[in-house]
Chains A and B, each alone.
Chain A
Amino acid sequence: MPNFRATHEQTGEIAEYNQSLPLPEHLTEDWRLEEVSDAYVAPPDPEAPADTRMFGGRRQLTKLEFVALLGTDFASILAAAKQSVQVEAFVMLVTLATPDANGYAVDLDDPRMAALAQLEAFGVLGAGRAQEILNG
């Protein structure tokens, strides 16, 4: 049974109901009529190769997951932060990040993660580590 939501264009009045057809008055120009339903979610492909990345390729992580992704480089970054304000600023950036509604605080696609490339250029991370971390 469809879920309808009708909004009056002038008063903002909202009517929501679940029935096979909308009310005829809601089909007039005075109302904006919408039919709300859940989008399809494809089932996992059983033939797809297993994702061996640490978090299955998930681009959004909790802070602890991000630390796990850094591995032994976490200590290297903290040590470098004691000597460089720029490195410390990156550490503080992650520390101060608050989780979004989905519970994740770190986005590997966030442009601010470009700082990892700088850490590699400064020698804090080994060659190629920035790309490895950003790939998850």
Chain B
Amino acid sequence: MANKFIIEGAAFNGDGTSSAEATVAGGVGAWNTITYFEGATPAYGSLAAGDTVYIRSKTAAGANIIRTIVAATNLGSLLATAENHIHWVLDGGNIWGGVTGTLTYSATGLSISLRENNSLEAEVRGAFVYVPTTNNTLATFTLNNRCVVRGAMVDSSLQTTNGARFSATDRATLISPIVKVRRGGAGAFSTSNYSQLTVIDPDVELIGSYSDTLIAVTGIYGARIDIIGGRVWGVGTQAGASITKPSGSDSGLRILGTDIPRTVAIFDSSSGTYNHVTEYIGADGGVGAAIGSARWGVADSRSDGYYPTLNAFLPTSVAQPWSWKLHPYFAGRGRAFELPSMKLHTGDSGVKTFTCNFLLGEEFVGADASRIWIDVEYIDDATGQRKHIDSRAKANSNTPLSSSTANWSASTYGAVNLLKRQIQLTTPTSVKKDTLVVITFGGDIQALTANDLIFVCPDVVMA
């Protein structure tokens, strides 16, 4: 994990290891081409997972940077991993003092995306800009799985009717984005099917006066958008714009503390029968006195052995076998169930594998590794920092849960046949000796019948 540097247009292409311009090709100094941010392989030096790459916000000649998109463009690097993102930082004068320019991707209706596991930060809000130059409802800045983008702007000022938007596939986060919406039936923020987008502190200006403009539109099959804080403003808020339209099939939208004028309707006038939930709290820009209720269902346990048990015992003098029964009858995208447990790692520092065993109702439809997972939080031995990993598979990947041969006390519960399943997760780095590891069994799959049960052994195996 190292810092690398790009100065677009510098005379010599260095090895990327210094913020100064190189004096010879391949010498110590910044890379001189922004194509490395666009997926090209560095000619000198290397890019690796975990690197932070600082981009000077003006060229070596002192000009703001405009990149014209000639084909759908993917930003970031394929080398990034879920455990070690590659961070791209558009410098706001911290590295190159006094240089506060902009990096603009200009498109005639083409889209750009940020590759999964890459993060992008514009240190000056709005310094990274995506500008479609023609009217196109399809113009999108797409964030792929696990992307985090801070301070970027999507600007539809050059469009006369339609508007461009941010969109997410799988799970992504936007922090302090700016969106200038001309007219957006697809919203300022949208998600693909199965996907979730978290937006924090947005600044959304509705620059066109159109009654069919929307702010956030989810996909179907469990898509979700959460918007926290920020504001929506502009002439479009007085022209009949709406926040969203129901998108169907277990989709959801939550708006918490976003300042939205009362002239903006919640739903547009479209009709339909959909399974969609919109929560709208604190639209004056404040959270107010909202009390959250995160009800997903019921978890309970018994001490008489009636529930199937495996390794866990209650901490009593009798030490009865113990397990949890979960019935997530109200779970769903954005309403995940969580069952935390802890292990104290007293052995030598090292890489550890955690195995969580559970029983799954035989008829529990849709239960795969994208809907049931474990999170592990541990203290990294090398850095002392808390690290988080999870087993959650990509949405719609149909990744099955692993079978298990664990010796449960029973594999039935009344008339319900139970399937033995397990989730294993190995830490990418060593766990520090004598530290607490938190393992959370979680999921967002809804129980549709009384037989859709999960029995979890809270004694997670650490090896």
| Complex Cα–Cα for A118 and B106 (A) | 37
Mask of A24-59 contacts with B, CB within 8 angstroms, 1/0: 000100001111111111100000000000000000
- Tell me if B192 and A111 are in contact (CB < 8 A): no
User: How far is the CB of B38 from the nearest CB of chain A, in Å?
Assistant: 4
Does A123 interact with chain B (Cβ within 8 Å)?
no
Does A102 interact with chain B (Cβ within 8 Å)?
yes
- Tell me if B38 and A39 are in contact (CB < 8 A): yes
> Which chain B residues have a beta carbon within 8 Å of chain A's beta carbons?
8-9, 35, 38-40, 59, 61-71, 73-74, 104-106, 108-110, 134-138, 140, 167, 185-187, 190, 192-193, 217-221, 245, 247-249, 272-274
- Tell me if A38 and B248 are in contact (CB < 8 A): no
Find the residue from A101, A102, A111, A134 having the highest chain B CB count within 10 A.
A111
Find the residue from A2, A42, A118 having the highest chain B CB count within 10 A.
A42
| Given A2-B9, A100-B138: A33 touches B63 (CB 8 Å cut-off) | yes
Mask of A105-136 contacts with B, CB within 8 angstroms, 1/0: 00101111010011000000000000100100
Interface residues contributed by chain A, number (CB under 8 Å): 32
Does A104 interact with chain B (Cβ within 8 Å)?
yes
| Given A39-B68, A40-B38, A110-B137: A117 touches B248 (CB 8 Å cut-off) | yes
User: How far is the CB of B180 from the nearest CB of chain A, in Å?
Assistant: 18
| Complex Cα–Cα for A99 and B146 (A) | 33
* Apart from A114-B220, A131-B221, 12 more pairs, CB < 8 Å: A34-B104, A35-B63, A39-B68, A39-B70, A40-B40, A41-B70, A42-B39, A102-B109, A102-B138, A107-B137, A111-B245, A114-B249
- Tell me if A35 and B64 are in contact (CB < 8 A): yes
- Tell me if B73 and A35 are in contact (CB < 8 A): no
| Complex Cα–Cα for A32 and B102 (A) | 11
- Tell me if B66 and A118 are in contact (CB < 8 A): no
| Given A100-B136, A102-B109, A107-B137: A35 touches B9 (CB 8 Å cut-off) | yes
| Complex Cα–Cα for A46 and B272 (A) | 45
- Tell me if B136 and A102 are in contact (CB < 8 A): yes
CB-based nearest B residue for A6: B63
- Tell me if B68 and A37 are in contact (CB < 8 A): yes
For A22, the chain B residues whose CB sits under 8 A away are 61-63
> Which chain A residues have a beta carbon within 8 Å of chain B's beta carbons?
2, 4-5, 21-22, 27, 32-42, 60, 100-102, 104, 107, 109-112, 114, 117-118, 131, 134
A109 is contacted by which of B8, B9, B69, B192 (Cβ under 8 Å)?
B192
For A117, the chain B residues whose CB sits under 8 A away are 220-221, 248-249
- Tell me if A34 and B65 are in contact (CB < 8 A): yes
The 9 closest A-B pairs by CB, nearest first: A40-B35, A35-B63, A40-B38, A39-B67, A33-B63, A114-B248, A42-B39, A36-B66, A34-B64
User: How far is the CB of B358 from the nearest CB of chain A, in Å?
Assistant: 27
- Tell me if B109 and A37 are in contact (CB < 8 A): no
- Tell me if B61 and A35 are in contact (CB < 8 A): yes
B136 is contacted by which of A37, A101, A112 (Cβ under 8 Å)?
A101
| Given A22-B62, A33-B62, A110-B186: A60 touches B138 (CB 8 Å cut-off) | yes
| Complex Cα–Cα for A35 and B138 (A) | 26
- Tell me if B109 and A101 are in contact (CB < 8 A): yes
User: How far is the CB of A10 from the nearest CB of chain B, in Å?
Assistant: 18
7 example contacts (A-B, Cβ-Cβ < 8 A) are as follows A39-B38, A40-B39, A60-B138, A109-B167, A111-B218, A111-B247, A118-B272
| Complex Cα–Cα for A36 and B248 (A) | 42
